[in-house]
């Protein structure tokens, strides 16, 4: 069966009152971005409270559906067959042939739901539904009509042409990117942070990212891995501006000056400071991390409090209550897992102490950080100035 169009269902954004058009426009924009990667000219059209994608004559159905499934804000994707309006008799034939094609030998319950966008159509919606239901029953003797809880709803929309659909493919849900501002993701190369980025992006937030690179302790391949992860997240979130910060000198300086068991905490405090700098610079409204309580020493409540203290922007931690396995499952679903588990060290693990503090005392941390006073400002400045920006699409 060849589908000529897709009807896009969106739930949440339909209830946003006067702001509705903002959300719809954002959704159309994101759909256009997603479809631009599929071969062929697609037309995304907003008409009478619905969004349609009109397909070119030749196109790859699976690829198109997959692209649409990556767009946040879409709840369902209904493949539509469009017939010319050549009178009711022809419409009835078309609808029956649609049923034969899409649901051969159908034997469950169904109902026909008709909507007349063209109010001048001579027969009312109710009458059309009833008549079409009858014609279908004639052809499918084992099927039955149930108008309350049908297994199958066959929708017929009468416009300048006749639109018929009955399937709904699940969309990504959430809200369209760009409707809820922008936030800065601390992307590490592990399993958690890409999932965290995905989850925030799903709520309509545009994502930028920062990665801490520590050559020669971390390799070019580790950096490439992070770019690959950003690419995968960008399939959902749209383009990501990735900031690659050379963190080596700061890390070594902390290593030289501070107690070793506090290294990770102090390091993470500096990472947050740097991330916040770039966040503010690019007008982000928050930071995003993949932290989950108790997963490692730096993610106990005490440690989280210690790293959180240096930030003025809110820090969003969408996987905070997830078990590792739950995060792994999500990363499978969004397609980042296989990249995440490639064995390249990130800069968090290279100098990690055998027994890092798990309950850092803020006063102690502050005192340790005073030992960095001599050079840290200069090192921070250099790190900020030498940032490498990669536009990931």
**Interface residues toward another protein, by CB under 8 A:** 215-220, 252, 255, 260, 343-345, 349-351, 353
- Which residues, in sequence order, are CB contacts of 351 under 8 Å at separation 6+? 217, 251, 255, 263
Tell me if 284 sits within 8 A of 207, measured CB to CB: no
Cα separation, 387 vs 383, in Å, equals 6
Nearer to another protein, 129 or 331 (CB): 331
Q: Locate 184 and state its tokens.
A: 């800065």
Nearer to another protein, 143 or 379 (CB): 379
Nearer to another protein, 88 or 255 (CB): 255
State how beta strands 182-186 and 287-288 pair: parallel
Tell me if 379 sits within 8 A of 231, measured CB to CB: no
Q: How far is the CB of 191 from another protein (least distance, A)?
A: 13
Nearer to another protein, 203 or 213 (CB): 213
Q: How far is the CB of 215 from another protein (least distance, A)?
A: 6
Q: Locate 55 and state its tokens.
A: 């397909």
Q: Locate 258 and state its tokens.
A: 């501070």
Q: How far is the CB of 225 from another protein (least distance, A)?
A: 12
Q: How far is the CB of 338 from another protein (least distance, A)?
A: 14
Q: Is the dihedral of CA 210, 216, 217, 220 positive or negative?
A: positive
Cα separation, 85 vs 332, in Å, equals 45
Nearer to another protein, 49 or 343 (CB): 343
Nearer to another protein, 1 or 353 (CB): 353
Cα separation, 198 vs 192, in Å, equals 10
Q: How far is the CB of 220 from another protein (least distance, A)?
A: 8
Cα separation, 50 vs 210, in Å, equals 37
Q: How far is the CB of 146 from another protein (least distance, A)?
A: 56
Cα separation, 289 vs 271, in Å, equals 11
Nearer to another protein, 87 or 216 (CB): 216
Nearer to another protein, 218 or 336 (CB): 218
Q: Is the dihedral of CA 282, 382, 257, 294 positive or negative?
A: positive
3-state helix, strand, coil in the chain (%, to 5): 45, 20, 35
DSSP 303-349: HHHHHHTT-SS-EE-TTTT--HHHHHHHHHHHT-HHHHTS----TTT
Nearer to another protein, 30 or 248 (CB): 248
Q: How far is the CB of 249 from another protein (least distance, A)?
A: 11
Q: How far is the CB of 248 from another protein (least distance, A)?
A: 9
Q: How far is the CB of 259 from another protein (least distance, A)?
A: 11
- Give the phi and the psi of residue 209 in degrees, each rounded to 5: -140, 155
Is the link from the previous residue into 216 a cis peptide, with omega within 30 of 0? yes
């Amino acid at each position: 069966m060849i589908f000529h169009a897709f009807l896009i269902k969106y739930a949440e954004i339909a209830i946003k009152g006067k702001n509705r058009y903002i959300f719809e426009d954002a959704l159309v924009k994101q759909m256009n971005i997603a479809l631009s990667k599929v071969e062929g000219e697609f037309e995304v059209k907003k008409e009478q409270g619905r969004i349609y994608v009109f397909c070119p004559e030749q196109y790859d159905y699976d690829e198109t559906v997959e692209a649409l499934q990556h767009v946040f804000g879409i709840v369902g994707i209904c493949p539509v067959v469009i017939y010319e309006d050549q009178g009711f008799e022809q419409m009835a034939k078309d609808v029956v042939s649609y049923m034969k094609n899409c649901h051969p030998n159908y034997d469950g319950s169904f109902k026909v739901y008709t909507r007349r966008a063209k109010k001048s159509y001579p027969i009312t919606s109710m009458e059309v539904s009833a008549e079409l239901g009858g014609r279908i029953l004639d052809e499918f003797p084992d099927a039955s009509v149930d108008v309350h809880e049908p297994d199958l709803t066959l929708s017929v929309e009468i416009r300048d042409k006749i639109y018929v659909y009955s399937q709904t493919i699940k969309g990504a849900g959430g809200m369209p990117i760009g409707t809820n501002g922008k936030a800065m993701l601390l992307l590490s190369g592990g399993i958690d942070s890409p999932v965290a980025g995905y989850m925030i992006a799903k709520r309509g937030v545009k994502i930028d990212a920062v990665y801490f690179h520590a050559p020669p302790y971390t390799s070019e391949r580790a950096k490439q891995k992070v770019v690959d992860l950003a690419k995968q997240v960008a399939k959902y979130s749209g383009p990501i501006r990735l900031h690659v910060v050379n963190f080596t000198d700061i890390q070594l300086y902390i290593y030289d000056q501070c107690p070793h068991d506090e290294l990770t905490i102090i390091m993470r405090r500096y990472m947050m400071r740097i991330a916040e700098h770039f966040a503010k610079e690019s007008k982000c409204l928050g930071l995003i991390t993949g932290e989950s309580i108790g997963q490692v020493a730096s993610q106990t409540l005490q440690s989280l409090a210690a790293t959180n203290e240096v930030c003025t922007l809110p820090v969003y931690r969408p996987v905070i209550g997830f078990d590792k396995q739950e995060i792994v499952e999500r990363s499978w679903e969004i397609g980042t897992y296989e990249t995440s588990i490639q064995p390249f060290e990130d800069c968090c693990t290279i100098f990690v102490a055998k027994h890092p503090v798990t309950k850092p005392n803020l006063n102690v941390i502050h005192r340790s950080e005073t030992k960095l006073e001599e050079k840290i400002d200069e090192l921070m400045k250099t790190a900020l100035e030498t940032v490498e920006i990669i536009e990931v699409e």
